[in-house]
Amino acid sequence: MDKEQQFCQSCGMPLTPEILGTNATYWGNQVEKGDGRCFGIACDEHYILVSEYRKDGADAELVVLKKR
């Protein structure tokens, strides 16, 4: 049985085998919009991810996921 894709609960970045169980570090930040929503931004040397969600993390939407 294939495992379901997992995502970071804080930033939405996909948790791939290359990241899980390693000491890999990444940059992440959250930018609040004026309407009660936030942009989450995370990247490392391989990916950049931008997601949008409510301040409590609900209703998350993927804006951009780009592999370098």
**Predicted structure pTM score:** 0.61
Query: pLDDT band for position 1 (50/70/90)?
Result: very low
**What percent of the chain clears pLDDT 70, i.e. is strictly above it?**
81
Say what the pLDDT of residue 24 is.
61
Largest CA distance in the chain: 43
Residues 10 and 28 sit within 8 Å (Cβ to Cβ): yes
Q: From residue 66, how far is each of 15, 50, 51 by CA, in Å?
A: 14, 9, 12
pLDDT digits (tens, 9 = 90+) for 2-19: 467 777 766 777 777 766
- Mean pLDDT across 42-53: 90
Say what the pLDDT of residue 62 is.
92
